């Protein structure tokens, strides 16, 4: 019995040590955000010798004449529209694949699954050429419009797995009463799929908020930059970098992600578990 308790205690200690190791970079960044620029890389101590809020004040003033609040607003707009687009388009596609009968349904579903294996970089250049010719570069359109056409195969697959668990007998009653496919989708499928839809919303927010590469490709005006792009502007390889402001704004950029996870983690776990079990 003692040996069993010892093994259990040792396991918990190892997990705690591993957790501290994983969270150490975040603790260091939070500490550095309260240090002066000259102290950040000179002292190994996590406690600032002379704590200051100057990094947060200067960082919030922004760069290139644009306040960091503007960058936050841009990120929230981009993430919000992306959430709405993915929920509507991917849920419609998933409803069709899981509950509607049409020719070549399995073939089109297989094609959709193949797109999950296609690297993003393969289609980057053709997409950029198309968006450039129609004048969408330097706007949010290349980042938002495709999402209204169910281009996120992972979310479609997740919702298909979830919707397949919804009883067909439950949907048969409204069909007998004369309800069409769209009415069934709006009044029955959507309410029953809330856990999976919340999962889609959470992942969309996280991926859009953290996205750097695609936003860097299509956005070049500082006034349209998102948080991830704005953080890069604090670092100047040829001149003086504002490390304190960078770490301060990086800490603030994590706050929405932490709040989203804390508030909706129950729906996140429930959506993933139900989707995998019912699939």
Helix (H, G, I), strand (E, B) or coil at 155: helix
Confidence (pLDDT) at 279 = 43
The whole model's pTM is what?
0.87
Block mean pLDDT (10 aa), the chain, length 279: 77 89 89 86 79 89 86 95 95 92 90 86 89 93 93 91 86 83 90 89 92 92 92 76 88 92 77 53
Helix (H, G, I), strand (E, B) or coil at 268: helix
CB 34 within 8 A of CB 51: yes
- Cα torsion 258, 263, 264, 266: sign: positive
Cβ atoms within 10 Å of 61's Cβ, excluding its own: 13
- Measured in residues, the chain has a length of 279
Beta bridge pairs of residue 66: 63
d(CA 260, CA 253): 12
Site of tokens 């509950």: 99
Pick left, alpha or beta for residue 108 (phi over 0 → left; psi -120 to 50 → alpha; otherwise beta): alpha
Residue closest to 232 by CA, chosen among 251, 249, 254: 249
Beta bridge pairs of residue 63: 66
Domains, the chain, in order of start with CATH, read 68-218+259-278 (1.10.3720.10)
Phi, psi of 113 (to 5 degrees): -65, -35
Q: Which residues are within 8 A (CB) of 108 and not within 5 positions of it... i.e. 6 or more apart?
A: 97
Residue closest to 97 by CA, chosen among 147, 145, 155, 146: 155
CB 206 within 8 A of CB 81: no
């Amino acid at each position: 019995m003692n040996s069993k308790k010892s093994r259990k205690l040792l396991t918990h200690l190892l997990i705690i040590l591993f957790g501290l190791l994983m969270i150490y970079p975040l603790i260091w960044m939070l500490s550095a955000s309260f240090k002066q620029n000259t102290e950040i890389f000179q002292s190994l101590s996590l406690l600032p010798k002379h704590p200051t809020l100057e990094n947060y004040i200067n960082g919030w003033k922004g760069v290139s004449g644009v306040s960091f609040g503007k960058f936050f607003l841009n990120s929230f707009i981009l993430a919000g529209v992306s959430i709405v687009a993915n929920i509507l388009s991917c849920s419609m596609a998933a409803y069709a694949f899981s509950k509607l009968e049409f020719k070549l349904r399995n073939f089109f579903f297989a094609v959709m699954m193949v797109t999950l294996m296609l690297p993003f970089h393969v289609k980057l250049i053709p997409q950029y050429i198309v968006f450039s010719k129609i004048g969408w570069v330097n706007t949010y359109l290349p980042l938002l419009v495709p999402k209204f056409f169910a281009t996120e195969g992972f979310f479609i697959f997740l919702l298909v797995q979830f919707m397949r668990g919804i009883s067909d007998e439950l949907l048969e009653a409204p069909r007998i009463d004369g309800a069409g496919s769209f009415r069934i989708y709006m009044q029955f499928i959507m309410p029953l799929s809330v856990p999976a839809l919340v999962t889609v919303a959470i992942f969309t927010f996280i991926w859009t908020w953290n996205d750097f590469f695609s936003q860097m490709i299509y956005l070049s005006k500082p006034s349209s930059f998102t948080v991830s792009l704005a953080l890069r502007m604090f670092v100047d390889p040829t001149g003086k970098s504002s490390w304190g402001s960078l770490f301060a704004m990086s800490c603030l950029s994590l706050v929405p992600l932490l709040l989203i996870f804390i508030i909706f983690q129950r729906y996140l776990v429930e959506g993933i578990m139900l989707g995998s079990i019912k699939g």
